[in-house]
Amino acid sequence: MSEHVVVEREQGLLTLRLNRLDKKNALTRAMYSAMAETLVQADQDPSVRAVLITGSEDCFTSGNDVADFIQAPPSGLGSEVFQFMLALFEFGKPVVAAVSGPAVGIGTTLLLHCDLVYVSREAILKMPFVNLGLCPEFGSSLILPRLLGHARAAELLLLGERFSGAQAAAWGIANQALDDGAATLAKAREMALRFQQLAPSAVADSKRLMRAPDREQLRRVIEEEGALFGQRLRSPEAIEALTAFMQRRPADFSRFA
């Protein structure tokens, strides 16, 4: 289990709290593995009624660890990140997220696979995949245009435009925007604990029905995105962008045709 993911239990609620603040909760392979393993176990454990994913009061996550992307780019379905996202995608019980501060890259993508999302008004969400020479991941190229329309999704996915927690709530990516990190976590926790009082298999059946219509198409898109993402990570464009981030300079794509 990674020291950077804290697992807490309160009645039937299992909380995964990202805890790598010196790197803005950037997600390493060890963190993905810990979260994947916890989710798989929680799905089998009848005493777990819901899962809450959160970061700290001023930072959800800065996304995939960029150094990991350079040194050990994930490839294929066996990679740690894919195992985590797959565990989230397959998870049969409700998943609630509490988001404050930055939610970058996969930090925003994973919200699309949660059931209830609470954000602080000032949270900053963005999916800078193209900016990093990459492409959308884990179903976002299908989910976001459907949810937001092509034009708005294009701003987010092609330009990597940032958006606030308030916008996320207005657009239906989140349920509600709250005043600050503490209020956001309190609300998410309150809503997640409600599942304790509900009939667990009725909740699970209903979640499955709600997710069913898009499931197979989503699976195909996820595989296609995953293969392309893996190729793109090794592309000269992505290497330039990721190296530029580590060197704290803007990426220079001028030499690419």
d(CA 15, CA 9): 6
Residues 4, 24, 93, 187: which binds ligand COA (CB under 6 A)? 24
d(CA 154, CA 147): 12
Residues 31, 48, 66, 86: which binds ligand COA (CB under 6 A)? 66
Q: Least distance to ligand COA from the beta carbon of 55, Å?
A: 11
Q: Least distance to ligand COA from the beta carbon of 67, Å?
A: 5
Q: Which of 140, 123, 129 is nearest to 230 (CA)?
A: 129
With contacts defined by CB under 6 A, name the span among 85-93, 101-109, 179-187, 225-233 that binds ligand COA.
Answer: 101-109
- Residue 63: both structure tokens together: 């996304």
Query: How many angstroms separate the first and last alpha carbons of the chain?
Result: 44
Which H helix or E strand runs over 233?
helix 215-233
**What contacts 60, CB < 8 A, 6 or more positions away?**
18, 25, 54, 99, 100, 101, 102, 103, 107, 123
Q: Least distance to ligand COA from the beta carbon of 135, Å?
A: 11
Instruction: Work out whether 65 is an interface residue with ligand COA (CB under 6 A).
Output: yes
Q: Least distance to ligand COA from the beta carbon of 157, Å?
A: 12
Question: Sign of dihedral through CA atoms 59, 158, 28, 237?
Answer: negative
Q: Least distance to ligand COA from the beta carbon of 126, Å?
A: 8
With contacts defined by CB under 6 A, name the span among 20-28, 164-172, 188-196, 224-232 that binds ligand COA.
Answer: 20-28
CB of 104 or CB of 144, closer to ligand COA: 104
d(CA 106, CA 28): 12
d(CA 237, CA 123): 29
Residues 132, 157, 177, 192: which binds ligand COA (CB under 6 A)? 132
Q: What is the DSSP letter of 48?
A: -
Instruction: Work out whether 95 is an interface residue with ligand COA (CB under 6 A).
Output: no
- Residue 40: both structure tokens together: 């798989």
Residues 18, 31, 35, 63: which binds ligand COA (CB under 6 A)? 63
Instruction: Work out whether 104 is an interface residue with ligand COA (CB under 6 A).
Output: yes
Instruction: Work out whether 23 is an interface residue with ligand COA (CB under 6 A).
Output: yes
Residues 2, 15, 33, 64: which binds ligand COA (CB under 6 A)? 64
CB of 63 or CB of 181, closer to ligand COA: 63
d(CA 69, CA 80): 12
Residues 7, 30, 40, 67: which binds ligand COA (CB under 6 A)? 67
Give contact residues for ligand COA (rule: CB under 6 A).
Answer: 23-24, 26, 62-67, 102, 104-105, 128, 132, 245
